[in-house]
Amino acid sequence: MAKPTQFAIRLLRWHEGIDRDLPWKKNRNPYQIWLSEIIMQQTRVAQGTPYYLKFVSEYPTITDLADAPEDDIMKLWQGLGYYSRARNLHHAAKTVRDEFDGDFPTAYKDILSLKGVGKYTAAAIASFAYGLEYAVVDGNVIRVLSRYYGITDAVDQSSTLRFIQEKADLLIKGSDPSDYNQAIMDFGALQCTPKSPNCAICAFEDTCTAYQKELVSIIPTKAKKIKKRTRYLHYLILEDSAGRVIIHHRREKDIWQSLYDYHCIESLTDTQLGEEEIRKDVLDNFGLEVESIIYPTKAYKHILTHQTLYGQFYQIKVDQISNINSPYLNIDQGAIPKYAMPVLITNYLDDTKKDKLFS
DNA sequence: AATGCGGGGAC
DNA sequence: GTCCCAGCATT
């Protein structure tokens, strides 16, 4: 058995004084660890924790999760973002139920084969749940090791990432894998932070290359820059006199896949829709006559990583709604809370509800 | 190798 | 405004 590396010894000594008290670290239940890791992908602990608690309470076992309707899972995921995680979560739960007899797989390669589980998540589960020696490489580890080794190459290049992974695989050797992985991520989150890390009091003051060369502020570097596009979404809220409304299940390859919204007309500028344009659209798409239109008085700005959205909501009364085809659905207005919707939509709905309280 | 996918918090 | 967060699937 190999002895821990010098890096690991210092790291774990630093970690002795740290206690983050995360709710999914109370035991080694692989289901709970997997669930927490999926939820925490690209998500801050403070944002994801309430969702973890909801899921583990609503679905105590992975079979409970597998048996649940997708709409229920999406609703519980509403507001967390990156909704493919929720779909993959459901898919993987069904795989465990059907292919692994309901028992979470214990072999690294089987864990990695699950939908939504990549190299990082597989290593996290394997080490935290089963004590297997797989080094995690997440945003924290990339930052810590790129600084430690003074790597100025862009960390969003696969060659750089491969190099970091190799170093991580060496550094973990001989240590308790669970402790080591937890420690290095805590170190990145609490000590070696993206901005103004606490280098003055650091366990690696004398061995960190970036600190020695005064490169801490410029490492890690990235090559790619994201460019945004702007979209104008005109939502038609079609409602009949019986209180039935038409909602839309987003099945296309686009943002918010699997969520529900309203019938949408998209434009490249922020100009409002004309009355005749609306009448024709509603007649062509649903065979319905428009009785009245309340035009939007404001646009809801919503910012995503790659897009800036402006949403406007047109309240439209139509004649009797019937025979609506997929991906459209007609429901009672009061049934809306059962369907997962984008935050842009729920922001609007919250505003309208508030308006009614004061009118 | 490159791209798209959310929402929010820190600065 | 910018950056980035317990990343992944798809092309």
Show the 3-state SS of A101-158.
CCCCCCCHHHHHHCCCCCHHHHHHHHHHHHCCCCCCCCHHHHHHHHHHCCCCCECCCH
CB A36 under 7 Å to nucleic chain C: yes
Q: Is the pLDDT of residue A353 over 90?
A: no
CB A8 under 7 Å to nucleic chain C: no
pLDDT at residue A20, rounded to an integer: 85
What is the DSSP secondary-structure string of A9-65?
HHHHHHHTT-----GGGSS--HHHHHHHHHHHTTS-HHHHHHHHHHHHHH-SSHHHH
- Ordered by start, the domain boundaries in chain A are 6-218, 229-357
Give the mean pLDDT of A311-335.
95
The percent of residues in chain A predicted with pLDDT above 90, rounded, is 93
Confidence grade of residue A358 (pLDDT, cut at 50, 70, 90): low
Q: Report the SS3 class of residue A285.
A: helix
> How far apart, in whole angstroms, are the C-alpha atoms of residue A165 and residue A99?
30
pLDDT at residue A285, rounded to an integer: 96
Q: Report the SS3 class of residue A69.
A: coil
CB neighbours of residue A273 within 10 Å: 17
pLDDT at residue A346, rounded to an integer: 97
pLDDT at residue A323, rounded to an integer: 86
Q: Which two tokens stand for residue A155?
A: 């960390």
Q: Tell me: the pLDDT tens digits for A97-150?
A: 999 999 999 999 999 999 999 999 999 999 999 999 999 999 999 999 999 999
Q: Which helix (H) or strand (E) holds A292?
A: strand A290-294
CB neighbours of residue A302 within 10 Å: 18
Residues 6+ apart with CB under 8 A from A57: none
pLDDT at residue A357, rounded to an integer: 55
Q: Report the SS3 class of residue A178.
A: helix
Question: Which nucleotide C1' is nearest A33 CA?
Answer: C6
Q: Tell me: the pLDDT tens digits for A195-233?
A: 999 999 999 999 999 999 999 999 999 988 788 999 999
pLDDT at residue A268, rounded to an integer: 85
Give the mean pLDDT of A157-179.
97
pLDDT at residue A225, rounded to an integer: 79
Question: Which nucleotide C1' is nearest A222 CA?
Answer: C3
Q: How far is CA A244 from CA A137, A216, A241, A292, A317, in A?
A: 50, 59, 7, 15, 10
Question: Which nucleotide C1' is nearest A182 CA?
Answer: C6
Residue nearest to nucleotide B3 (CA to C1'): A226
pLDDT at residue A43, rounded to an integer: 96
Q: Is the pLDDT of residue A359 over 80?
A: no
Superfamily name and number for A6-218: Hypothetical protein; domain 2 (1.10.340.30)
Q: Which helix (H) or strand (E) holds A223?
A: none
Tell me which CATH code domain A229-357 carries. 3.90.79.10
CB A194 under 7 Å to nucleic chain C: yes
Q: Tell me: the pLDDT tens digits for A31-58?
A: 999 999 999 999 999 999 999 999 999 9
The percent of residues in chain A predicted with pLDDT above 70, rounded, is 99
Q: Chain-wide mean pLDDT for chain A?
A: 95
Residues with CB under 7 A from strand B: A 42-44, 46-47, 79-84, 157-159, 195, 224, 253-257, 302-307, 342-344
Q: Report the SS3 class of residue A254.
A: coil
Q: How far is CA A201 from CA A14, A42, A143, A193, A205, in A?
A: 11, 28, 18, 13, 7
Give the mean pLDDT of A11-27.
91
CB neighbours of residue A286 within 10 Å: 20
Q: How far is CA A276 from CA A246, A266, A281, A283, A324, in A?
A: 20, 16, 8, 10, 22
Confidence grade of residue A83 (pLDDT, cut at 50, 70, 90): very high
Active site residues of A: 37
